[in-house]
């Protein structure tokens, strides 16, 4: 109430002197009001001890991109996928921080092209035949680094930090099991850092950077 | 409704799985060009236009070249070297553990300072093995094989008959 009187007095004072000053005062008043309003709307909650959202499962369809994939493939690529994260520790690890822990299981498919490599590519042999004297002879190679279709099955621990009502962040260490055609199944370490912008209490825009993929999608908290 | 979405997703995954893996083509080196590959572990080069490439690889673990006709392939200072070529090719492999090659007619193949050398050549070809622990040559038609400081030097005439030892010390399939 006091601030409103003060603002009006400032405004009247400014109008009495110069129009430019009046505009500046009016603008700063408007900015301070809107900032205060935004602060009220986007309340910091990281110091709260409990998770702000009551959900058991997060389902996240997303688009993925990646470069320098694990294993025999090379180049860069893009694809689609989904992640399901099951809440296992709603209170998290830290007693005075609003964190939580989930276990994430995913399925991502990505198509990589060798000549989109950031640091050049090399062709690879795709077919060998046995030669005389126990030798092995390559009879077919890739072209322009070749193309590769990956199927990833990430399994991660998702450690969430509920920062504000609008924003949350997470880290995801884990493992990526992957399938690459003739090369079969293999695995690589996986690590991600991500963030969510909460469109509503149960729908968020979710981004994730890390290896082997970077993802952008929408999460549904259920 | 959800079941339909799950079915569509499962079908998409199956399609992707069925086409996954490497798709091969004819390599990346263009006709008339000399393409060199060195360092690292593996490098297998191919001639994108099919014929007329000059492929070279060295100082790595595994390497090789695949080319059509009228090509030059060279490798040295690697563990395993591989060459696959059509007609009128010149292949040189030296200072490696193993050299394996398959080439067509009028092939000129040289294997030097190698532990294990194995080559299959087409008609009218010439093979040289020098300072090789074991050299095995399979000739599809007439060929001449020169072996020096090589034991054993084993020549097989795939068209039938036995190789002959010519007066100049060369082994030959189809007469000297």
Q: What is the pLDDT of residues B48-107, one digit of tens each?
A: 889 999 999 999 999 999 999 999 999 999 999 999 999 999 999 999 999 999 999 999
- Report how far residue A150's alpha carbon sits from residue A162's, in angstroms, rounded to the nearest whole number: 33
Residues B109/B126, Cβ–Cβ less than 8 Å: yes
Report pLDDT digits (tens) over B79-94: 999 999 999 999 999 9
Q: Say what the alpha-carbon torsion angle A194, A200, A203, A207 is, to the nearest 10 degrees.
A: -20
Residue A51: inside a domain, yes or no? no
Q: Is residue A52 part of a domain?
A: no
Identify whether residues A80 and A11 lie together within a single domain.
no
* Residue of B12, B13, B21 to mutate, interface with A, max A Cβ within 10 Å: B21
User: Is B9's pLDDT higher than 80?
Assistant: no
Regarding whether A145 and A89 lie in a shared domain, the answer is yes
Which of A90, A102, A99 has its CA nearest to residue A45? Answer: A99
Residue of A107, A141, A183 lying closest to B27 (CB–CB)? A141
Cβ atoms of A25 and A42 within 8 Å: the answer is: no
CA distances from A16 to A5, A12, A13, A19, A24 (A): 17, 6, 5, 8, 14
Task: Say yes or no for a CB contact (<8 Å) between A124 and B98.
Answer: no
CB environment B21-38: b (16+ within 10 A), e (fewer)? bbebbbbbbebeeebebe
> Is residue A6 located within the same domain as residue A77?
no
Phi first, then psi: give them for residue A92, nearest 5 degrees. 75, -165
Beta carbons within 8 Å of B51's beta carbon, 6+ residues apart: B31, B67, B68, B69, B70, B71, B86
**Is A172 among the domain residues?**
yes
Q: State the alpha helices, DSSP H only, in A42-106.
A: none
Q: What's the gap in Å between the CA of A84 and the closest CA on chain B?
A: 14
Q: How many residues are there in chain A?
A: 222
The reply to whether A152 and A66 lie within a common domain is yes
Which uninterrupted H or E stretch holds A198?
Answer: strand A184-198
Angle between helices A2-17 and A19-41 (to 10 degrees): 160
CA-derived radius of gyration, chain A: 26
Tell whether A205 and A174 lie within a shared domain: yes
Mark whether A98 and A181 lie in a shared domain.
yes
**A50 inside domain:** no
**Chosen from B6, B10, B22, B83 to mutate, greatest number of chain A CBs within 10 A:** B22
In percent, how much of chain B has pLDDT > 90?
A: 72
Q: How confident is the model at residue B131 (pLDDT cuts 50, 70, 90)?
A: very high
User: Contact, A94 vs A160, CB < 8 A?
Assistant: no
Among candidates B22, B45, B137 on the partner chain, residue whose Cβ is nearest the Cβ of A148: B22
Considering only the beta carbons, identify the residue of A131, A133, A140 that sits closest to B102. A131
Nearest to B134 among A123, A133, A138 (CB): A133
Query: Within a 10 A sphere around the Cβ of A169, how many other Cβ atoms?
Result: 15
Residue A109 belongs to domain spanning: 57-221
Same domain, A17 and A100: no
Q: CA-based angle A200:A80:A89, to the nearest 5?
A: 50
The pLDDT of residue A26 is 41
Residue A47 domain-assigned?
Answer: no
Q: Which tens digits make up the pLDDT trace of B143-169?
A: 999 999 888 899 999 988 899 999 888
Residue A46 lies in a domain: no
Q: What is the pLDDT of residue B26?
A: 57
Quote the mean pLDDT of chain B: 86
Q: Quick one: A21 and A94 in the same domain?
A: no
Q: What is the pLDDT of residues A28-81, one digit of tens each?
A: 434 344 444 454 457 888 777 665 568 999 999 999 999 999 998 999 999 999
In a domain, A70, yes or no: yes
Residues A101 and A10 in one domain: no
Domain membership of residue A194 (yes or no) is yes
Do A148 and A176 share a domain, yes or no? yes
The complex's ipTM works out to 0.83
Residue A125 sits in a domain of what CATH number? 2.40.160.20
Residue A50: predicted pLDDT: 65
A97 and A21 fall within a common domain: no
Report yes or no: A148 at the B interface, CB cutoff 8 Å. yes
Residues 6+ apart with CB under 8 A from A197: A166, A167, A204, A205
The whole-angstrom separation of Cα B149 and Cα A7 is 102
pLDDT of residue A120: 84
Regarding whether A24 and A95 lie in a shared domain, the answer is no
φ, ψ (nearest 5 deg) of residue A143: -120, 135
- Residue B12 CA to residue A120 CA, distance in Å, equals 31
Residues of A in contact with B138 (CB under 8 A): 132
Q: How many separate domains does chain A show?
A: 2
pTM over 0.90: no
Min Cα–Cα distance to chain A from B168, Å: 25
Nearest alpha carbon to residue A107 among B18, B8, B15, B13: B13
A130 → chain B, closest CA residue: B100
- Kindly state whether B14 is in contact with chain A, defined as any CB-CB distance less than 8 angstroms: no
Q: What is the pLDDT of residue B114?
A: 96
Q: Is B37 on the interface with A (CB under 8 A)?
A: yes
Cβ–Cβ of A147/B120 closer than 8 Å? no
Q: Does B136 contact chain A (CB < 8 Å)? A: yes
Q: Which residues of chain A have pLDDT under 50?
A: 1-37, 39-40
């Amino acid at each position: 109430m006091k601030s409103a009187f003060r603002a009006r007095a400032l405004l009247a004072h400014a109008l009495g002197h110069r129009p430019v000053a009046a505009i500046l005062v009016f603008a700063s008043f408007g900015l301070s009001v809107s900032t205060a309003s935004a602060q009220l709307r986007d309340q910091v909650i990281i110091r709260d001890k409990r998770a702000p959202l009551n959900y058991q499962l997060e389902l996240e369809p997303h688009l993925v991109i990646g470069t320098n994939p694990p294993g025999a493939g090379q180049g860069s690529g893009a694809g689609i996928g989904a992640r399901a994260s099951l809440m296992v520790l709603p209170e998290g690890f830290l007693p005075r921080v609003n964190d939580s822990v989930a276990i994430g299981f995913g399925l991502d498919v990505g198509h990589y092209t060798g000549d989109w490599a950031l640091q050049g590519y090399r062709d690879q042999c795709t077919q060998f035949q046995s030669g005389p004297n126990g030798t092995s002879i390559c009879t077919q190679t890739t072209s322009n680094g070749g193309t590769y279709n990956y199927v990833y099955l990430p399994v991660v621990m998702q450690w969430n930090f509920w920062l504000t009502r609008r924003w949350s962040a997470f880290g995801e260490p884990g493992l990526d099991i992957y399938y690459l055609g003739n090369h079969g199944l293999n695995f690589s370490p996986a690590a991600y850092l991500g963030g969510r912008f909460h469109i509503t209490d149960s729908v968020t825009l979710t981004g994730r950077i890390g290896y082997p993929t970077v993802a952008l999608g929408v999460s549904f908290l259920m | 409704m959800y079941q339909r979405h799950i079915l569509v997703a499962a079908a998409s995954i199956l399609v992707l799985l069925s086409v996954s893996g490497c798709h091969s083509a004819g390599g990346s080196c263009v006709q008339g060009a000399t393409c060199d590959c060195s360092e690292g572990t593996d490098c297998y080069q191919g001639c994108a236009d099919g014929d007329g490439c000059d492929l070279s690889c060295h100082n790595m673990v595994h390497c090789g070249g695949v080319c059509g006709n009228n090509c030059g392939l060279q490798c040295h200072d690697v563990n395993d070297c591989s060459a696959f070529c059509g007609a009128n090719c010149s292949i040189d492999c030296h200072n490696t553990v193993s050299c394996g090659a398959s080439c067509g007619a009028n092939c000129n193949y040289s294997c030097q300072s190698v532990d294990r050398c194995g080559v299959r050549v087409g008609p009218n070809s010439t093979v040289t093995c020098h300072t090789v622990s074991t050299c095995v040559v399979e000739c599809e038609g007439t060929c001449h094989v020169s072996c020096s400081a090589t034991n054993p030097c084993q020549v097989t005439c795939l068209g039938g008959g036995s190789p002959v030892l010519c007066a100049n010390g060369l082994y030959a399939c189809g007469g000297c």
